[in-house]
Homo-oligomer: A and B are copies of this chain.
Amino acid sequence: MFNEIDCNMNSNLQFSKVQFPNEKRVATGYAPIALEIRRDIVKMLTLAKSGHTGGPMGLADFMAVLYFGKFMKYSANEPQMPDRDRFVLSGGHLVPVLYSCLARAGFFEPDELSTLRKFGSRLQGHPGLDTELPGLETSSGSLGQGISIAVGMAMADKLVDHNDRKVFCLTGDGELEEGAVWEAAMAAANFKLDNLCWIVDNNDCQIDGRVRDVMSIYPLAEKFEAFGCNVIEIDGHNFEQIVNALDKFEQNNKNKSGKPTVIILKTFMGQGVSFMQDKYSWHGIPPTEEQAEMALQELK
């Protein structure tokens, strides 16, 4: 059990107990949820002393809408609910933001977030299905694989089981340098997977620098369009735009548009904390305790 794991808890880094079960969704508005997620990320990473801070911070706003809006059907009480929608995290290193959402949605207690990356934890550095963490749909961590898993799930739903389930999948932008991603795009379009919503975290950062410098993926919308996808480009920190984009996906899906939806989220790495914002150096490091304190000051 996780409470046997030595978590070296500093009182500042304790996790709030607040959860946002189904009935509370939306009602609270997204901002406080996104804030809670960002606070979780800072605390988790600080306690873990290793891992990826910047990407998850940039995704808090989108994930708040996805997990706590009306768009994704799931049940924290019945994680394997047969008609649930599914979320596949293709960029496995971004998983802290997912763990926070799962905890806040009631899949497990927020306290467990303190075990991130520790021996024996269900919160692996990159998600592992072998931990049987409730709410987790697949392992990932080798970039460019999760999106094909999502394509396979969407095909199962649409072409074999003929149900109404939806599949959401998140990839990074550096991740789009992997050729496998374009195989997935080609297949998604050819199989007319209008039940697939592919979100690209376009923070223009990867480990070695700006995506445009390391190996440019631009122009991006044009690529996805040429590969047969429906592209929506939005500000990934604007709740209204996020809601509208997910609404459009729902329309595409309901109308059987025959095209997968790609939402290009313009985000900033490290969004929410001034000294992290838009800094690719924050891709793969945790905050120190002092940095955490400063960050949590800003995140109020």
Contact = CB atoms under 8 A, between A and B. Distances in A.
A182 interface: yes
Nearest to A222: B226
What number of copies of this chain does the assembly contain?
2
A190 B215 contact: yes
Contacts of A178: 179, 183
Contacts of A222: 222, 225-226
B227 A215 contact: no
Main secondary structure of the interface of A (DSSP, over half): helix
Given A219-B226, A223-B226, A226-B226, A179 B183 contact: yes
A183 B223 CA distance: 13
A165 B225 CA distance: 35
Nearest to A220: B226
Interface size class of A (residues with CB under 8 A): 10 to 19
A186 interface: yes
A232 interface: no
A186 B177 contact: yes
A7 interface: no
A190 B223 CA distance: 15
A190 to B, nearest CB: 5
A226 B216 CA distance: 12
Interface in A4-22: none
A197 interface: no
B219 A190 contact: no
A217 interface: yes
Contact of A227 (B180, B183, B187, B223): B223
Nearest to A180: B179
Contacts of A227: 223
Residue in A181, A216, A226 with the greatest tally of chain B CB atoms within 10 Å: A226
6 contacts: A178-B179, A178-B183, A179-B179, A187-B215, A190-B215, A222-B222
